[in-house]
A and B are shown apart, each in its own frame.
Chain A
Amino acid sequence: MSGKVSRQILLYGVVCLAILIVPVLVDDAFLLNKYARYLIFGMLAIALSLSWGYAGILNLGQATTFGLGSYCMAMFLKLKTVPIHTGSDGLPDFMVWNNVTELPWIWVPFHSMPIALLAGILVPALFAALLGWFMFGGRIAGVYAAIITLAAMVVVNLIIIDQQSYTGGFNGITDLARFEIFGLTFDAYSASTYYLVAICLTVTLFLALAVSRSKTGLILQAVRDQEERVRFFGYDVALYKTFVFALSAAIAGLAGMLYTIIMEFASPTFLGVPLSLSIVIWVAVGGRQSLLGAMLGAVLVTGVQGALSETEAFLETWTLVMGGLFVLIVLFMPKGLAGAFEALVRRFPKAERKGGARHATEQTSKSQPHLGGAL
């Protein structure tokens, strides 16, 4: 058991290390920016894998919390810009255009970096906790929960577009300052920003791994299998589900903040249906019951997507190709690439003899494959 866990930690560590050395090999600011974007999508996939893969809560509105995090960061960075068109007290430009004369109270706390950074994680988490408390306390599950998450996203999106004088409306919040912390400046097109994203991804991945390996993680998987049964052991199922839903939102919020740094703006499209559905696809392709699988699924799909859309031969048809690939994977690999990888490892029992022949002979009935389950 512990051997299996340490193999898993090793595998996760190797992947994170590989991600961290990319800037050593790639000396192209544009590419690093693109890769950092893929990594942020990887974080979103981890977030969805926690709620969907582990607890069985299909969140079709994961982008809501992503967008909330993104706006928190954008509000902070906007207040740091040297305004071109300023009203009194250096109002953000779009507010001036909307005849706002005074900084709205909701913006005021975002002058402070600690508050802004905390808000980027806590606002999404609280939003999800409230929604989760309402849904799971009312025993709403399955398709109905999925629809509510989708509807909630549309509502938040509409509010942001509607409240133009506070949020920048359709245009979002643009013309942002660079993110600065501890004397370091994070230019969107630089290795340092890539490292920032990669480190956040690593921390998130291992944090999620720890949660999934804890007893709480085990109970969440049990809830996914047999919610009723868990309840009659004395566990507050609604609380467990709300917890993982909020944790997933916090991760998405962090990803959203990073995304603002990378993209240099925040926009209502960040809370859109297309992004939300894309996350579901990445996680399904990578394997929703594997954090690493889901993360790599996101990087892989968005990477291939980017490559195809920039290849001349597929300029017109790349969405079709992606759609076809997705259908094939869902049809033939219900547990995604991670599941397929595990099945592949299981096929070669000889390869694992080296490491654990004794174990294999002792438990002839059904020994766990070694790399299988490591994802």
Chain B
Amino acid sequence: MTPARDQLLALKQVTVAFSGFIAVDRLDFEVASGELRCLIGPNGAGKSTTLDLICGKSRITSGEIAFRGAPIHVLKEFRIARTGIGRKFQVPSVFRELTVRENLEIGCSRDPGVWRNLFRFTGGVDTERLERLAVLVGLEDHLETQAAQLSHGQTQWLEIALILAQDPALILMDEPTAGMTAQETNMTAELFNRLRGKHTLVVVEHDMGFVRDIAETISVMHQGKLLAQGTADEVSQDAKVREAYLGSGGIGHA
């Protein structure tokens, strides 16, 4: 495992049970600062649940989650977010009735207080930064478009841009390429490679082609446990991983 020196996130013996069903089972999982980690595994392996636990959407039954050495599993969701953790959901969730620009403004959440924001109007927002973000995800021509009008891929990108506007140290991505065309997936891989180093990323993904394009280290989960960890080649040759994926036709098609 990575030495504790620049360790950013550490899950220690994390367990969660939903009315008896153990979704995550004594999981140990560590991510170093600046890493781009892919989290894969068959359906029901507990990948999304793990992300839910980190960002506070679900509560752990036992164990500990530490971010920058401090326990965060006791904090409320918005406080966890304020420590520097951003979450992209599997089903793209953006503010459909608002424009792309307004969406991005909400993403800029460095000052989350009610009073501060009461005296902040459109003019006070760093428009240059917003536009840079829009360019990054290819939405620069749609700034005044209502988010409901965007295509599925664009909606995914908009949510990614929102997370980048939030500018968290750790970004949790849940299937960012779900429903994207091959071309859109390629562009997303490019974007992720650009984010490498600036942010720490944990990416849950099913698309192995995409994972091979971006991953340094891959963690494989199975039945709520960490099964294997290593480079793409190491993982795909691991006997336990092959066995776990047997039912679903091999790792390439998972």
On whether A240 and B114 interact (CB within 8 A), knowing A229-B95, A365-B141, A366-B149, the answer reads: yes
The reply to whether the CB of A88 lies closer than 8 angstroms to some CB of chain B is: no
Does A202 touch B at the CB level, under 8 Å? no
Q: Given A218-B106, A231-B77, answer yes or no on A2-B114 (Cβ-Cβ < 8 Å).
A: no
Per-residue CB contact flags for chain A residues 209-230 toward chain B (1 = under 8 Å, else 0) read 0010111101101101110111
Q: Is B107 on the interface with A (CB-CB < 8 A)?
A: yes
CB distance from B142 to the nearest CB of A (A): 7
Contact A234 B87 (CB under 8 A): no
Residues of A within 8 A of B5 (CB): none
Across-interface contacts of B93 in A (CB, < 8 A): 226, 228-229
Query: Which residues in B have their C-beta under 8 angstroms from that of A239?
Result: 114
Choose, from B26-34, B97-105, B231-239, B244-252, the stretch at the interface. B97-105
Within residues 187 to 207 of chain A, which ones have a CB less than 8 A from any CB in chain B? Answer: none
Cβ A231 vs Cβ B96 within 8 A: no
**Which of B77, B105, B149, B166 is most buried by chain A, counting CB atoms within 10 A of its CB?**
B77
Chain A residues near B119: list those with CB within 8 A. 214
For A235, the chain B residues whose CB sits under 8 A away are: 78, 109, 112
Cα–Cα distance between A233 and B107 once the two chains are bound (Å): 7
A236 to B112, CA, bound (A): 7
B182: Cβ under 8 A from any A Cβ:
no
Given A1-B122, A214-B120, A226-B94, A232:B106 Cβ within 8 A: no
Question: B133 near A: Cβ within 8 Å?
Answer: no
A39 beta carbon closer than 8 Å to chain B: no
Judged by a CB distance under 8 angstroms, whether A50 is at the interface is no
Q: Are B114 and A234 in contact (CB under 8 A)?
A: no
- Point out the residues of chain A lying under 8 angstroms from B149, CB to CB: 366
- Indicate the member of A1, A228, A229, A366 with the most B CB atoms within 10 Å: A229
Cβ of A112 < 8 Å from any Cβ of B?
no
**Contact present for A222 and B144 (CB under 8 Å):** no
Contact partner, A230, options B87, B106, B123, Cβ 8 Å: B106
Q: Does A363 contact B (CB under 8 A)?
A: yes
Of residues 37 through 51 on chain B, the ones whose CB sits less than 8 Å from some CB of chain A are none
Pairwise interchain contact A368-B144, C-beta atoms closer than 8 A: yes
B143 to chain A, nearest CB (A): 10
What residues of A have a CB within 8 angstroms of the CB of B79 in the complex?
234
Q: Check if A233 sits within 8 Å of B109, measured CB to CB.
A: yes
Q: Is B215 an interface residue (CB 8 A)?
A: no
Q: Is B21 an interface residue (CB 8 A)?
A: no
Q: Judging by beta carbons under 8 Å apart, are B166 and A213 in contact?
A: no
Decide yes or no whether A237 CB sits under 8 A from chain B. Answer: yes
Contact of B81 among A231, A366, A367 (CB under 8 A): A231
Chain A hits for B95, CB < 8 A: 221-222, 225-226, 229
In the complex, the answer to whether B106 meets A231 with C-beta atoms within 8 Å is: no
Cα distance A248–B77 in the bound complex, in angstroms = 26
- Interface presence of A243 (CB below 8 A): yes
Report the minimum CB–CB distance from B108 to chain A (whole Å).
Answer: 9
Report the separation of the CA atoms of residues A225 and B96 in the bound assembly, to the nearest whole angstrom: 7
Mark out the residues of chain A between 58 and 113 whose CB falls within 8 Å of any chain B CB in the assembled complex: none
- How far is B100's CA from A1's CA once the two chains are assembled, in angstroms? 13
Give the chain B neighbours of A236 by CB distance below 8 A: 78, 112, 114
Quick check: B144 and A234 within 8 Å, CB to CB? Answer: no
Contact among A222, A232, A365, A367 for B98, CB-based, below 8 A: A222
Find residues 224-274 in chain A having any chain B CB closer than 8 Å to their own CB.
224-226, 228-237, 239-240, 243
B166:A229 contact, CB within 8 angstroms:
no
Give the nearest-CB partner of A211 in chain B.
Answer: B118
Q: Given contacts A218-B98, A222-B95, A366-B144, is CB(A229)–CB(B89) below 8 Å?
A: yes
Shortest A60–chain B CB gap in Å is 23
Contacts of A211 in B (CB 8 A): 118
A323 to B57, CA, bound (A): 44
Q: Which has the most chain B C-beta neighbours within 10 Å: A219, A226, A233?
A: A233
Bound CA span A214–B55, Å: 28
Residues of A contacting B19 in the complex (Cβ-Cβ under 8 angstroms): none
Chain A residue nearest to B82 (CB atoms) is A234
Whether B78 contacts A2 by the Cβ 8 Å rule is: no
Within 8 A of B (CB), among A1-41: 1-2, 5
Residues of B within 8 A of A216 (CB): 114, 117-118, 120
Report A-chain residues with C-beta under 8 Å of the C-beta of B176.
Answer: none
**Residue contact B123 to A2, C-beta cutoff 8 Å:** yes
Question: Contact mask A356-375 → B, CB, 8 Å, 1/0?
Answer: 00000001011110000000
Alpha-carbon gap, A225 to B146, bound state (A) = 13
Q: A residues near B, CB below 8 A?
A: 1-2, 5, 211, 213-216, 218-219, 221-222, 224-226, 228-237, 239-240, 243, 363, 365-368
Return 15 A-B CB contacts under 8 Å, by A number: A2-B122, A211-B118, A214-B118, A214-B120, A215-B105, A216-B114, A218-B102, A229-B93, A231-B81, A232-B57, A232-B78, A232-B81, A233-B109, A240-B114, A365-B142
11 A-B pairs besides A218-B98, A234-B109, A366-B146 with CB distance below 8 A are A2-B122, A218-B102, A218-B106, A222-B98, A226-B95, A232-B55, A232-B81, A233-B109, A234-B82, A236-B112, A236-B114
Closest 5 CB pairs of A and B: A234-B81, A215-B117, A233-B109, A216-B117, A234-B82
